[in-house]
Amino acid sequence: MTLLGVSTGVLADRTDLTGLLAYEPDVVEFYNYPRSMLAAIEAFCARHGIRAALHTPVPYDEPGPLRRFAPTGPDRDEAAAALRMTEATVRCAADLGAVHVVVHFPSPYPPYPVAGFDTWCRDFLDAACALAREHGVRVLVENLSAHPLLRTAAHYRDALAGRPELGLCLDVGHAHLLGPEQGPLAYARALGPAIRSMHLYDTTAARYPEHGHEPVRAGRSAAEGYLATAEVLPALLDLTGAGVVVLEHRPPAPGDPAPGEIARLVRAVIGRPRSPDPAAWSPAPRTPSEPARPTPTGPARPAHT
Mean pLDDT of 272-286: 39
Residue 300: predicted pLDDT: 36
Instruction: Please write the tens of the pLDDT for every residue from 1-16.
Output: 799 999 999 999 999 9
Instruction: Please write the tens of the pLDDT for every residue from 97-152.
Output: 999 999 999 999 999 999 999 999 999 999 999 999 999 999 999 999 999 999 99
Confidence of residue 288 (pLDDT cuts 50, 70, 90): very low
Residue with the bigger pLDDT between 162 and 278: it is: 162
Mean pLDDT of 79-105: 98
Say yes or no to pLDDT of 287 above 60: no
Residue 221: predicted pLDDT: 86
Confidence of residue 292 (pLDDT cuts 50, 70, 90): very low
Euclidean distance between CA atoms 23 and 48, whole angstroms = 12
Report angle CA 287, 243, 266 to the nearest 5 degrees: 155
Residue 65: predicted pLDDT: 84
Instruction: Please write the tens of the pLDDT for every residue from 17-70.
Output: 999 999 999 999 999 999 999 999 999 999 999 999 999 999 999 988 889 999
Residue 64: predicted pLDDT: 86
Euclidean distance between CA atoms 269 and 285, whole angstroms = 30
Euclidean distance between CA atoms 102 and 141, whole angstroms = 6
Residue 134: predicted pLDDT: 98
Confidence of residue 244 (pLDDT cuts 50, 70, 90): very high
Mean pLDDT of 257-270: 95
| Contact present, 119 and 274 (Cβ < 8 Å) | no
Instruction: Please write the tens of the pLDDT for every residue from 209-241.
Output: 999 999 999 988 899 999 999 899 999 999 999
Please give the single-letter amino acid code of residue 227. L
Say yes or no to pLDDT of 291 above 90: no
Instruction: Please write the tens of the pLDDT for every residue from 160-204.
Output: 999 999 999 999 999 999 998 999 999 999 999 999 999 999 999
